[in-house]
Structure 1
């Protein structure tokens, strides 16, 4: 029996344009194929190992003709809209009080600031208060799909894997959670929506 639900954030609640960073690289004089070094910079930023300032500074090698503000604009440009029906849906699930709800997101300081600004404080706080805990990778210094992030959430909240359901749009993340005994839904973006959750439980 499912008692706990863990949700990803990007492309589950807020729509994303993940391709913008590739589209904009050539425009600003860079190589559209991300190097292992660039991926490592992103991973370090997502677990809070480097500051936003350091992150933007290091990205000048990727976008050599872009200013710091232009780099921030590209980075935050992947954040699109947060449909009201998804907010109302998660608030409804929270009000039913049938499950313990958690958010678990690979994210970073720049994105969360931008999300709050886009949504507005009131709407963002309505969203955040729908969850028992709101876990952001850069704050807990862990990221998906590493097993330690799932174990951290389970252990900190006294959850049993077999009683826990996890939703993420990245198969690598749900595959890792399934290995720990967590039941998962690898949501297919554009074909499925989080508002269909009850049919998946």
Structure 2
């Protein structure tokens, strides 16, 4: 029986345009990123470097980039947050049938944008029993330690948890620990269909 539901954030609640950042950089004549910047991105998601260091790393690699240019390109991945999804999690929270946890790979620049653009973000956040952002806990998916952190912190049995994420690499990692998973496909599935799509678990 599922007692705890662990949700991803991007493309589960807020819609993403994942190719957007590279597309915006292309407009600035940046066609591909050097390998070191992919490592910088991971470190930034884990809160191991500051926003200023992250931005400086891009500017050091591409002298044509400005602080505003990289910030705009970086945030272009973020789209709309449909209010009906917030209403879904709010109702689920009020019913108190499950422990609700959010577990997201994200970063300070994205969260600052969301706080500014999503008027109900704080209310959304309060729907969860725990709200874990990778840059605040210095862990990121799909590394197993982030899932172990949540299981240990809340004394959870993996087989009583359902983890929802749109990235198969992340759901595979959770599944290896015995957690039930839903690898949500955002082009044809929606988190509000949680109980119909996964009715065998509930």
Deviates most, 4-13 or 56-65: 56-65
Deviates most, 61-70 or 144-153: 61-70
The whole-number CA distance in structure 2 between the counterparts of 1:132 and 1:62 is: 41
The whole-number CA distance in structure 1 between the counterparts of 2:61 and 2:112 is: 23
SS class of match (2:113): helix
The match for 1:154 among 151, 154, 179 is: 151
- TM-score (structure 1 length as normaliser): 0.95
The residue that corresponds to 1:79 in the other structure is 78
SS class of match (2:69): helix
**Change beyond 3 A, Cα 1:73–1:66:** same
The whole-number CA distance in structure 2 between the counterparts of 1:5 and 1:62 is: 41
Structure 2: which 5+ runs fail to align? none
- TM-score (structure 2 length as normaliser): 0.95
Written as runs of structure 1 = structure 2, the 5 A alignment for 1:51-70 is: 51-61=50-60, 63-70=62-69
The residue that corresponds to 2:39 in the other structure is 40
The residue that corresponds to 2:15 in the other structure is 15
**CA deviation profile, 1:62-111 (whole Å, cap 9, x unmatched):** 55422111110111111110001100000011111110000000000011
Task: Say whether residues 1:192 and 2:175 are aligned partners.
Answer: no
CA deviation after TM superposition for structure 1 residue 26, in Å: 2.3
* RMSD value, Cα: 1.1
Contact 1:29 1:63 in 2 (8 A): no
**Change beyond 3 A, Cα 1:25–1:64:** farther
The whole-number CA distance in structure 2 between the counterparts of 1:54 and 1:94 is: 38
CA deviation after TM superposition for structure 1 residue 61, in Å: 4.6
The whole-number CA distance in structure 2 between the counterparts of 1:198 and 1:63 is: 47
The residue that corresponds to 2:4 in the other structure is 4
Q: How many residues align?
A: 198
The whole-number CA distance in structure 2 between the counterparts of 1:84 and 1:73 is: 24
Contact 1:31 1:62 in 2 (8 A): no
The residue that corresponds to 1:109 in the other structure is 108
SS class of match (1:104): strand
SS class of match (1:54): helix
**CA deviation profile, 1:98-132 (whole Å, cap 9, x unmatched):** 10000000000011110010112xx1111001100
